[in-house]
Structure 1
Amino acid sequence: MFATLHRKSLSLSLSLLLAGASAGTWAANATPAVDAGTAPANQTAHVTLFLKLHNEAALEDYIRQTVTPGSAHYQQFLTTSQFAQQYGATDAEIARVQSYLRSQGLSSEVLPSHLAIRTSGTLSQFGKLFQTSIHTYVSSQNGHRFHKPAISPQLPSAIADVVDVATGLSSEKVYRPHHVSTPALTALGTPNAKTNALAAKSSGGSSNPTASGVPGQYTVGDVANFYNINPLYKHGVVGKGSTVGIVTLSNFYPSDATTYWSDIGLATKPNRITQVHVDGGAAIDGGSGETSIDVEQSGGVAPYADVLVYDSPNTTAGYVDAFAQAVSDNVADSISTSWGLPEIFNFAALNVTGASNTDTSDAGDLRAFHKIFLEAAVQGQSLFAASGDSGAYDTVRDLGVGTGVGQYTAPLTVDSPASDPFITAAGGTTTPYSYAFGTGPTKSITQESVWGWDYLQNYFDTYIGPGVVNLFSSGGGGGVSVYWHKPFYQAFTDGIRRSQPNQSLVYNDPSAGPTTLLKLPSHFEGRNVPDISLNADPETGYIFVSTVDGGLLSGEGGTSFVAPQLNGITALLRQSTGHRIGLWNPQVYALQNIFGYGWFTPFKSIRAGDNWFYYGAPRYNQGVGIGALDVANLDVFLRSGF
């Protein structure tokens, strides 16, 4: 099957910045924009009102109990209606909000969870409702047109005691899919037989028949070999009775997934893909390959699980609504997403007119996602998000980096929604392989390492010439949140760090010179990401099928492969244990803190490599988190109730 594979062709200029070269494709709200005047009054928009939770502290405590062996509510997950009754808005509160919306000529739809109310109307109506004027803006960087409030919106006083945040007034944010192609001039070379044999040994010496064994052409079978999944397959654990959910911002061709599974010789449950189009659904566009990856990987790791795909338009409103729908439906046992933006793009300093450049309060979107993730956790739904592909400098893929006019600095930042403490952040590694370029010597990665392409950068600088190729800062996303505080499950974890000092996002304005847009807090005791990592380096990457991208591709990677792989692994664990797994983080951190690393534990420490700032270590590190998995061992611990 692999004889027909081809490397995806990418143009590579002398100043290539792998992700930054396409930064104009994905708009970011930190970029300068020109006010084009009042937006069309009759333009339709979807706005979701997130209601205030009741007893949020009690909710978080209950979530902890559901995943703590010996607790009174261990594995006693709630239904959607139980969540609504115990923590959602009351019927009276909802009726009051609906009545107010009707008085403004707006329709409303209440989620069964009582967490949010969706409403549709014109920009004119919403401008009046939130006491603002909604304008059209045009990005000076890439021409992206969007609308957003010209002045900070205000919640109506009549419902401000019930409503926490409204999403959808702005269409500015366009999220990025977290997958990366290997640069066209970086030859894979000949795989190193010794190191690949060591990788097979580390997975129990077993071989999956759907594996290729070829770096850059790996399949889900290779994932099974690397991370010791095969023992579950041998016992008939293939995801039966489980449902994986995908939240995505591009529609796709389901035939891509079935073709992929068929081409690698994987037997799967037939007719198992169901699509749910939220807010009118997403387009089939340049991001459709991401959705194909998510379905192929999650459904490939768990070949007999059902697959639910929630797609929505690529805006904050669409993203939030798709997640809210997936969680409120409460059909998927686990859900992954491979889209995100830098956490700092949510801060008031970059969104609220007149805000100080030190204002790191949330403009609303982080809180909206957080409420949804809390509901998912108490319902036992495991959530996974790709941690990003720009190493420790998450803004680089969106904004680039430089000191010239019209360029930005690159502060140490993390990706959202992966930075939320109630979702598992999926990071990236490089598995052992050998590589060579041109007349340069063959080099080898001899142990699984933190994924960061500075190892290739050093090679190019040495054997091609300094500065000829620029790969900064491609690698597995990781670092310290400067919004979310350190969660309870990281309190006793060796290696947890605080934010670094002197980090700022500065734009070199053509007219005003260097302008500090945001100063990040120093030594902030924040949530550390990622949590768990698997192979994500495109050089040791994967094949996948995407009609939009031309069919069968190889040399593909990014943390967008890891999030759905963890999703599929959860479906296997769901079948094996006989119950939902729930929020991974408290469980895996407790296991690592107690049992550490070793042949019998669920984790493999990643001691080599870096993501351009954070280095591998025999403990938690911000390059890979706890480390990589031994899935069979994790299954044993979960079935035993550790």
Structure 2
Amino acid sequence: MFSTLHRKSLPLSLGLLLTGLSTGAMAASATTAVDIGATPASQNVQVTWVLKLRNQAALEDYIRQTVTPGSAHYQQFLTTSQFAQQYGANDSDISRVQTYLQKQGLSSQILPSHLAIRTSGTTAQLNALFNTSIHTYVSRETGHPFHKPATTAQIPSAIADVVDVASGLSNELTYRPHLVSSSAFTALNVQSPKTNALSAKTSGSNGNPTASGVPGEYTVGDVANFYNINPLYKRGVVGKGSTVAIVTLSNFYPSDATTYWSDIGLATKPNRITQVHMDGGGAIDDGSSETSIDVEQSGGIAPYANIIVYDAPNAGNGFVDAFAQAVSDNIADSISTSWGLPEIFNFAALNVEGASDTDTTDVGDLRAFHSIFLEAAVQGQSLFAAAGDSGAYDTVSDLGAGTAPGDYTAPLTVDSPASDPYITASGGTTTPYSYAFGTGPTKSITQESVWGWDYLQNYFDTYIGPNVVNLFSVGGGGGVSVYWHTPFYQVLTHGIRRSEPNQSLVYNDPVAGPTPLLILPSRFSGRNVPDISLNADPETGYIFVSTYDGGLNSGEGGTSFVAPQLNGITALLRQSSGHRIGLWNPQIYALQNVFGYGPFSAFNSIRAGDNWFYYGQPRYNQGAGIGSLDVANLDLFLRSGF
């Protein structure tokens, strides 16, 4: 069934990384972008106004109760209208905002959740409204044009008590799909096919018939074998009655998913994919493979679940709008995204070592996502986000790292939106396998490990030659947020850490020399990520189908596989339990804190490997989180109310 396999070409940033070059600098646009003047006054700009929540403390308490057995509101999730009535903006405040916008010549549309108002206007209108001047800039590195306010935009005082965030005035930041390919190593002459050290687990009467058992060509059937999903399938649990949603920033060809399922011999519900194009929809572009993978993986794990794909442009308020719509629609029981960017790219300034989150500015999208995720949690929608593919140093995928002029330092950082406390950060592991390159010996990874390509870096440096490739810092994202405080569900978890000292983002300006851009908080008591990890190493990676990338491909990995896999697993758990699962995090941390690891645990401890800084441990660790899953055991706990 794998007769026509292609190796996907490397994403631009990784390709440059492998040759020792840095990529375009998004966080330092003031230094690396050219201001070409005021944006034309007639240009249309879309803005989403995220409104302030009412009774947020009560909302957070209610969310906690929905996922705490024995609480008064356990599994009593709210509808969108109930959320709007209790926690969204009230009718009078909404009317005041819409009336104000109308007086400025702007039409508006309120979401049913009462959480956001969408509007658009000309640059001239928005300049007047926000008391700023929107300019157009061009990146020196990439030539990419974007617009943003040249001076700090101010929310009008007449509505500032109602509006929390205005998203979309800038389209400088673009999110990246968390995909990594192993194709860089084909030129290093792999000696022999890689072997699967879990062969006993992937064969025989208990094995999944759609599994390949071949590292780099794994399917959703192999995921079922690795993480004990097959007992659910044998009970007829295949996602019936469940709906999963994908939030993405590229359009795709739905036939990719149906071809993938057919190629691996998987029976699925027909005609189950619905597309919702937000703000004109995403483009068919380099991110289209990501969307195909998300649908193939989530829908392959839960073959009879319905699938809704919310796609939006990768600019401005597109990501916020897609998430807000998916949550406000409240059709999907679970939602995943495989896009993100370094959390610190949302900061305009962190001025002093040891600063608190109140010292950050321009973190609007972090706050916007947080409100949306709170709504999802109280409605019982489980959320998942890829934790990133640059190990403990999340900026390296975008900025590179080095000491030469034009290079950036690599501070310990985490990815957003995975760092938000109300979404489940999906990390990456390497499953056992054997490998060899060039004239080097065969080596083996004998236990599931934190994914970090330093094990390959060491191999190449030793047996192929130093500096042949630079793999720093490819691996599963993880670390400590310097914006979000440690959430309640991590407080009692052994292994939770504070942020490290002496972390800063410095640009080595060719003229001015080392220029500090951000000095990150030291020993900040922050949210730790990831939460849960599954196989993501491209060397033990997967096949996928993408028309954009030429059809059937192999050797792909990244945490972008893990988020949709957890999405599909949630659809199975939803069918098995008969109700929505809700926010995973408080439930899985409670299970781990109480029951630990062992043959009846819902989790496998990840004790080996590292993501270039954080090491596997027989406890929570910032390389793999709680660990990987035993889905059948997790299902038993959830059905019993543990």
Quick one: distance in 2 between partners of 1:15 and 1:336?
27
Q: Equivalent residue for 1:598?
A: 598
1:486·1:527 contact (CA, 8 Å) conserved in 2? yes
Give 3-state SS (helix, strand or coil) of 1:17's partner. helix
Q: What's the CA shift for 1:4?
A: 2.6
User: 5 Å matches for 1:25-64?
Assistant: 27=26, 32-64=32-64
Q: What's the CA shift for 1:147?
A: 0.2
Q: Equivalent residue for 1:108?
A: 108
Give 3-state SS (helix, strand or coil) of 2:152's partner. coil
Quick one: distance in 1 between partners of 2:216 and 2:184?
12
2:13·2:23 contact (CA, 8 Å) conserved in 1? no
1:189·1:434 contact (CA, 8 Å) conserved in 2? no
User: 5 Å matches for 1:420-431?
Assistant: 420-431=420-431
Match of 2:193 among 182, 190, 205: 190
- More displaced, 10-19 or 471-480? 10-19
User: 5 Å matches for 1:467-616?
Assistant: 467-616=467-616
**Which residue type is aligned with residue 539 of structure 1?**
E
Q: 1:484 to 1:14 in 2, by over 3 A?
A: closer
Q: Equivalent residue for 1:146?
A: 146
Give 3-state SS (helix, strand or coil) of 2:166's partner. strand
Q: Equivalent residue for 2:166?
A: 166
Residue by residue, what CA displacement relative to the aligned partner does 1:459-482 show, whole Å, maximum 9, x if unpaired? 000011111110000000000000
**Which residue type is aligned with residue 309 of structure 1?**
V
1:28·1:398 contact (CA, 8 Å) conserved in 2? no
Quick one: distance in 2 between partners of 1:103 and 1:458?
64
**Which residue type is aligned with residue 430 of structure 1?**
T
Q: What's the CA shift for 1:359?
A: 4.1
State how many pairs are aligned. Answer: 635
Q: What's the CA shift for 1:21?
A: 6.2
Aligned-residue sequence identity (percent) comes to 80
2:9·2:181 contact (CA, 8 Å) conserved in 1? no
Q: What's the CA shift for 1:356?
A: 13
Q: What's the CA shift for 1:511?
A: 1.7
Q: Equivalent residue for 1:438?
A: 438
Quick one: distance in 1 between partners of 2:67 and 2:357?
39
Q: What's the CA shift for 1:9?
A: 4.9
Quick one: distance in 2 between partners of 1:138 and 1:14?
22
Quick one: distance in 1 between partners of 2:405 and 2:604?
45
Q: What's the CA shift for 1:184?
A: 2.9
Quick one: distance in 1 between partners of 2:227 and 2:610?
21
Quick one: distance in 2 between partners of 1:20 and 1:378?
46
**Which residue type is aligned with residue 162 of structure 1?**
V
Residue by residue, what CA displacement relative to the aligned partner does 1:464-508 show, whole Å, maximum 9, x if unpaired? 111111000000000000000000000110000000000000001
Q: What's the CA shift for 1:43?
A: 1.0
Residue by residue, what CA displacement relative to the aligned partner does 1:29-83 show, whole Å, maximum 9, x if unpaired? 5562111100111111110111111100000000000000000000000000000
1:261 aligns with 2:264: no
Q: What's the CA shift for 1:18?
A: 4.4
Q: Equivalent residue for 2:209?
A: 209
**Which residue type is aligned with residue 442 of structure 1?**
T
Q: Equivalent residue for 2:621?
A: 621
Q: 1:12 to 1:303 in 2, by over 3 A?
A: closer
2:14·2:397 contact (CA, 8 Å) conserved in 1? no
Quick one: distance in 2 between partners of 1:638 and 1:242?
16
Q: 1:19 to 1:308 in 2, by over 3 A?
A: farther
TM-score relative to the length of structure 2: 0.96
1:412 aligns with 2:412: yes
Q: What's the CA shift for 1:5?
A: 2.1
**Which residue type is aligned with residue 198 of structure 2?**
N
Residue by residue, what CA displacement relative to the aligned partner does 1:95-151 show, whole Å, maximum 9, x if unpaired? 000000000000100000000111011111111100000000111121110000000
Residue by residue, what CA displacement relative to the aligned partner does 1:424-466 show, whole Å, maximum 9, x if unpaired? 0000000000110011100001000000000000000001111
Residue by residue, what CA displacement relative to the aligned partner does 1:576-625 show, whole Å, maximum 9, x if unpaired? 00000000000000000000001111000000000000000000000000
1:302·1:569 contact (CA, 8 Å) conserved in 2? yes
1:16·1:470 contact (CA, 8 Å) conserved in 2? no
Q: What's the CA shift for 1:3?
A: 3.0
Q: Equivalent residue for 1:176?
A: 176
Q: Equivalent residue for 2:8?
A: 8
**Which residue type is aligned with residue 596 of structure 1?**
G
Q: 1:494 to 1:109 in 2, by over 3 A?
A: same
Quick one: distance in 1 between partners of 2:86 and 2:337?
28
2:36·2:135 contact (CA, 8 Å) conserved in 1? yes
Q: 1:18 to 1:180 in 2, by over 3 A?
A: farther
Quick one: distance in 2 between partners of 1:50 and 1:633?
39
Q: What's the CA shift for 1:12?
A: 11
Give 3-state SS (helix, strand or coil) of 2:7's partner. coil
Q: Equivalent residue for 1:314?
A: 314
Give 3-state SS (helix, strand or coil) of 2:594's partner. helix
Quick one: distance in 1 between partners of 2:13 and 2:176?
22
Q: What's the CA shift for 1:200?
A: 4.0
**Which residue type is aligned with residue 486 of structure 2?**
K
Which segments of 5 or more consecutive residues in structure 2 lack a partner in the other structure? none
RMSD between aligned residues: 2.1
Quick one: distance in 2 between partners of 1:39 and 1:239?
49
Quick one: distance in 2 between partners of 1:44 and 1:337?
28
1:177·1:287 contact (CA, 8 Å) conserved in 2? yes
Give 3-state SS (helix, strand or coil) of 1:573's partner. helix
Q: 1:199 to 1:484 in 2, by over 3 A?
A: farther
**Which residue type is aligned with residue 95 of structure 2?**
A
Quick one: distance in 1 between partners of 2:133 and 2:291?
35
Give 3-state SS (helix, strand or coil) of 1:197's partner. coil
Q: 1:582 to 1:22 in 2, by over 3 A?
A: farther
**Which residue type is aligned with residue 388 of structure 1?**
G
Q: Equivalent residue for 2:403?
A: 403
Quick one: distance in 2 between partners of 1:322 and 1:10?
27
Residue by residue, what CA displacement relative to the aligned partner does 1:280-304 show, whole Å, maximum 9, x if unpaired? 1111111100000000000000000
TM-score relative to the length of structure 1: 0.96
1:603·1:629 contact (CA, 8 Å) conserved in 2? yes
Q: What's the CA shift for 1:206?
A: 1.9
Q: What's the CA shift for 1:13?
A: 13
2:20·2:470 contact (CA, 8 Å) conserved in 1? no
1:384·1:425 contact (CA, 8 Å) conserved in 2? yes
**Which residue type is aligned with residue 32 of structure 1?**
T
Quick one: distance in 2 between partners of 1:192 and 1:99?
65
Give 3-state SS (helix, strand or coil) of 1:97's partner. helix
Q: 1:106 to 1:227 in 2, by over 3 A?
A: same
Q: Equivalent residue for 1:285?
A: 285
**Which residue type is aligned with residue 418 of structure 1?**
A
Q: 1:10 to 1:524 in 2, by over 3 A?
A: closer
Quick one: distance in 2 between partners of 1:363 and 1:9?
34
Q: 1:231 to 1:22 in 2, by over 3 A?
A: farther
2:7·2:183 contact (CA, 8 Å) conserved in 1? no
Quick one: distance in 2 between partners of 1:16 and 1:199?
38
**Which residue type is aligned with residue 91 of structure 1?**
D
Q: Equivalent residue for 1:329?
A: 329
Quick one: distance in 2 between partners of 1:76 and 1:356?
35
Residue by residue, what CA displacement relative to the aligned partner does 1:300-347 show, whole Å, maximum 9, x if unpaired? 000000000000000240000000000000000000000000000111
Give 3-state SS (helix, strand or coil) of 1:4's partner. coil
Q: What's the CA shift for 1:191?
A: 3.6
Q: Equivalent residue for 1:123?
A: 123
Quick one: distance in 1 between partners of 2:233 and 2:84?
37
Quick one: distance in 2 between partners of 1:116 and 1:14?
36
- More displaced, 139-148 or 535-544? 139-148
Quick one: distance in 1 between partners of 2:356 and 2:151?
15
Give 3-state SS (helix, strand or coil) of 1:617's partner. coil
Quick one: distance in 1 between partners of 2:367 and 2:14?
42
